[in-house]
Chain A
């Protein structure tokens, strides 16, 4: 049982390049999330999904797109990377999105945009 895994762990992009971050979970969770963590800002929700085939915007969605074609996978895309997107990205999953639901986080992807 691997929990939540993220690919890749590190990436350096040039401004304007595109990339996709992959998140996979093996806990059969319905809900999945993408966060970014910046110094002094805590984690901020980018997009989330409440089930296969669904996506919704979070607090900071601009510049990102997501897809949830399979229940176990949640992809985060950057179409045209900008230096402001330099951050650590965390994926998470949970059984439910209601109440004091525990989110299970992946180890993070450190992205640098030059």
Chain B
């Protein structure tokens, strides 16, 4: 039962353009959402997060949007850079629960 879903296994964009990565969830109890980035042969690294009381959080080139009614969040990267090429995981948790659920990941390729 995958409670967090990333339906696009891969995404390719041109350098300088916007990358939009999407994530859907089914558990309405989730109240914290995170994005992790993973390079080959490395562990995931934290990128950005958002709590359910917000609908947007921004950190430099990265913005996460949360639509609670649609149970959907997205990560926008503007402008995209070749160094952003990686696998991006969406994750969600209930506030007082140590059981974080991850999506299957989306492989982003940014072409020069």
A residues adjacent to B (C-beta < 8 A): 4, 31, 33, 35, 40-45, 48, 50, 56, 58-59, 90, 92, 97-100, 102-108
Contacts and interface: CB of A to CB of B under 8 A. Distances in A.
A22 to B, nearest CB: 15
Contacts of A33: 98
Contacts of A108: 41-43
B43 A92 contact: yes
Interface in B1-45: 2, 4, 6, 9, 32-34, 36, 41-45
A99 B43 contact: no
Interface of B: 2, 4, 6, 9, 32-34, 36, 41-46, 49-51, 89, 91, 93, 95-105
Contacts of A107: 41-43
A105 B41 CA distance: 12
A42 B95 contact: no
A101 B4 CA distance: 18
Given A42-B105, A98-B96, A100-B49, 11 more contacts: A40-B104, A42-B102, A42-B104, A43-B89, A43-B102, A90-B44, A92-B43, A100-B32, A102-B49, A103-B100, A106-B43
A44 B98 contact: no
Contacts of B91: 43
18 contacts: A35-B102, A41-B2, A42-B103, A45-B99, A45-B100, A59-B101, A97-B97, A98-B96, A99-B32, A99-B51, A100-B34, A100-B93, A105-B36, A105-B43, A107-B43, A108-B41, A108-B42, A108-B43
